[in-house]
Structure 1
């Protein structure tokens, strides 16, 4: 069964990467084969928290898509788009930097998927106003969301798993990872002109047209905007306070969507049209594929072998965990990877006397998993969502268009992270 799970996963991944067939067909076909051959079953695929579909992710996406669908009726996305373009004086590069910084900051306190769902429509509108290709801007934003999400305990799901397993607190993440994230964002902004070279040409007439616009005129329904703002505020409070309230983000999003639909009285066809059904189904198929690898012990075996090699060597362990996590998180979903790897890291830390060096292993796991999500188009949930939104907007992002940039950015962020970990926890500890 192990060989079958690996074979099906590799074939599906090749189909996604080469785009020989639609990615949804590839993952659903792979899931169907895994069911037919008995590698997984309904119990493991639909009900298991370790090997099944992560319904929290699916319903979080669904709830936020409905909220965005209602919010779009207010004209607030047009408002923010015009505001951002005018503050950047119409410069595409400055607009990209501004939007990526907003994305990174928001991702530190909100789920990455929620952040890109809110900002992608703004980006599409800005680019449409200026007559420029939105693809580089969307790729840059999703990368910023994966970098910014590493800054806090609640910024990225793998961090929550690590915090639960290690006992590290919100303040621990803030003090240890936020400085690195700030450095990474500075580097990211410096790299943007080179990484997306040739993407910043714009017609001066278009810029003049945008500068003459009054963003306040874009608001179409102020009453609905106020209602949506109040609901969003409570949703955000629910996200930030989820560790205290004990409510899953998916429940918060669904409750927010239900309340907003009830009080807004927006016709069903409008907010349901914003739901990316293909994206939701893609996630379901992807979770089944990765769950089969977990069920057959593939990921656990990889983690155990890594543990046997690096046990007792703190610096070597830190660097290998960082690199291996970055590589594997670019190929498989980082949530089951971190869930499987956490017990291994916990065992490794028991053999390290220095608490700071022991904690360095956890930081390496978090950094590798979070930053590694940028490596490929399917490396993180936010990547998949943005690609789905771009396709619907008529600006498709191919697997390799994303991955060519993603691999480079992942390599840069890991190269920056490695000396940070060495200097802070080993050289000057």
Structure 2
């Protein structure tokens, strides 16, 4: 069964990468074959946390897509787009840096998928106003969201799994991971002009037009904006405090969406039309194929091979976990990878004598899994969502166009993280 699961995933992945078949068709086709051959059953798909569809991700996306769809009717995205362009004085590079920083910081306190859903419409409008391609901006933002999401316990789902398994608090992440994320963000910002060379030319006439606009005139429905603002504030508070109120972010998003649907007074086509149904179906298919890899032991076997290669050396273990996590998280979803790897890291950590060595293993897993999400177009949920938004906006981003940029950023961020782990937990630990 393991061979079958690997073969199905490899073929589906090749079809997605080649773009000869639409990625949703490839994912659902692979999932259908997995189910038809009996690799997974209904219990595995619908009810298992380890091998099934991650309904928290699906319904978080669904709820936030509805909220964003309603928010779009207020004109606030147009307002923000004009405001950002004017503050950057029409410079495309300064606009990119501003949006990247906003995205990264927001992703540390919300989940990065939510941040992408909110920032993408603004980006599309800014680029439309300046008559430039939005593709480099969308790619840069989603890369920044995966970097920024690594900073806190709640910024990226793998961090929540690691925090629970290792007994690490919100403050532990702030003290240990946030410093390196700040460094990584600075490096990434410096990399932007080279990474997206040739993407910052703007017609001076368009800049002049932007500077003459009054962003306040873009607001079309102030009453609805106030309602959306109150609901979003409550939703964000729920995201941040979900561990205290014991309500998952997916339910918080659905509750917020429900309140807005009831109070906005919009026809259902206005908010259901904003839902990326193809993206949700793609995730479902991908989760099923990855679940087959988990159930058949493929992911665990890879993790065991990695741990055997360590040989008891704490520094080698840390660097190997960092590198392997970045590579595998870029190819498969980092949530099941971290869920599978966590017990193995716990066993390794239990055999370490020094507390700093133990901590380093967990931070290596977190950084590798989070930064590895940038490696390919399907390495992180935020990547898939952003590509779906770009396609609907008639600015499709190909698998390889994203992956060429993402692979560079992953290599750089992992290369910067490695000496940080060595210096902090071994050289001066």
Question: TM-score, structure 2 length as denominator?
Answer: 0.99
1:286 corresponds in structure 2 to 286
Match runs of 1:189-338 below 5 Å: 189-338=189-338
Deviations 1:73-127 (A, max 9, x none): 0000000000000000000000000000000000000011100000000000000
2:345 corresponds in structure 1 to 345
Displacement after TM superposition at 1:311 (Å): 4.8
Match runs of 1:82-231 below 5 Å: 82-231=82-231
**Which has the larger displacement, 40-49 or 108-117?**
40-49
1:71 corresponds in structure 2 to 71
Determine the C-alpha separation between the residues in 2 that align with 1:314 and 1:350: 12
Say if 1:311 and 1:351, in contact at 8 Å, map to a contact too.
no
Determine the C-alpha separation between the residues in 2 that align with 1:36 and 1:178: 45
Q: What is the DSSP-based 3-state SS (H/G/I as helix, E as strand, rest coil) of the residue aligned with 1:330?
A: helix
Determine the C-alpha separation between the residues in 2 that align with 1:351 and 1:277: 46
Determine the C-alpha separation between the residues in 1 that align with 2:157 and 2:118: 19
Say if 1:334 and 1:373, in contact at 8 Å, map to a contact too.
yes
2:384 corresponds in structure 1 to 384
Q: What is the DSSP-based 3-state SS (H/G/I as helix, E as strand, rest coil) of the residue aligned with 1:310?
A: coil
Displacement after TM superposition at 1:312 (Å): 2.3
Deviations 1:198-239 (A, max 9, x none): 111111101111111000000000000000000000000000
Determine the C-alpha separation between the residues in 2 that align with 1:36 and 1:186: 48
1:427 corresponds in structure 2 to 427
Say if 1:311 and 1:348, in contact at 8 Å, map to a contact too.
no
Determine the C-alpha separation between the residues in 1 that align with 2:384 and 2:18: 16
Match runs of 1:16-31 below 5 Å: 16-31=16-31
Displacement after TM superposition at 1:263 (Å): 1.2
Determine the C-alpha separation between the residues in 2 that align with 1:76 and 1:354: 52
Structure 1: any 5+ residue segments left out of the alignment? none
After TM superposition, which residue ranges in structure 1, 4 or more long, deviate above 4 angstroms? Answer: none
Q: What is the DSSP-based 3-state SS (H/G/I as helix, E as strand, rest coil) of the residue aligned with 1:379?
A: coil
Report the RMSD for the aligned CA atoms in angstroms.
0.6
Say if 1:147 and 1:184, in contact at 8 Å, map to a contact too.
yes
Say if 1:124 and 1:134, in contact at 8 Å, map to a contact too.
yes
Question: TM-score, structure 1 length as denominator?
Answer: 0.99
Determine the C-alpha separation between the residues in 2 that align with 1:164 and 1:290: 22
Matched, 1:415 2:420: no
Determine the C-alpha separation between the residues in 2 that align with 1:305 and 1:331: 17
Q: What is the DSSP-based 3-state SS (H/G/I as helix, E as strand, rest coil) of the residue aligned with 2:331?
A: coil
Determine the C-alpha separation between the residues in 2 that align with 1:186 and 1:88: 18
Deviations 1:152-209 (A, max 9, x none): 0000000000000000110000000000010001100100000000111111101111
Structure 2: any 5+ residue segments left out of the alignment? none
Displacement after TM superposition at 1:46 (Å): 1.3
Aligned length: 429
1:47 corresponds in structure 2 to 47
Displacement after TM superposition at 1:351 (Å): 1.2
Determine the C-alpha separation between the residues in 2 that align with 1:168 and 1:147: 19
Determine the C-alpha separation between the residues in 1 that align with 2:274 and 2:79: 19
Say if 1:108 and 1:149, in contact at 8 Å, map to a contact too.
yes
**Which has the larger displacement, 33-42 or 401-410?**
33-42
Deviations 1:119-157 (A, max 9, x none): 000000000000000000000000000000000000000
Determine the C-alpha separation between the residues in 1 that align with 2:270 and 2:388: 18
Q: What is the DSSP-based 3-state SS (H/G/I as helix, E as strand, rest coil) of the residue aligned with 2:309?
A: helix
1:36 corresponds in structure 2 to 36
Determine the C-alpha separation between the residues in 2 that align with 1:351 and 1:251: 39
Deviations 1:8-63 (A, max 9, x none): 00000000001111111101110011111111111111111100000000000000
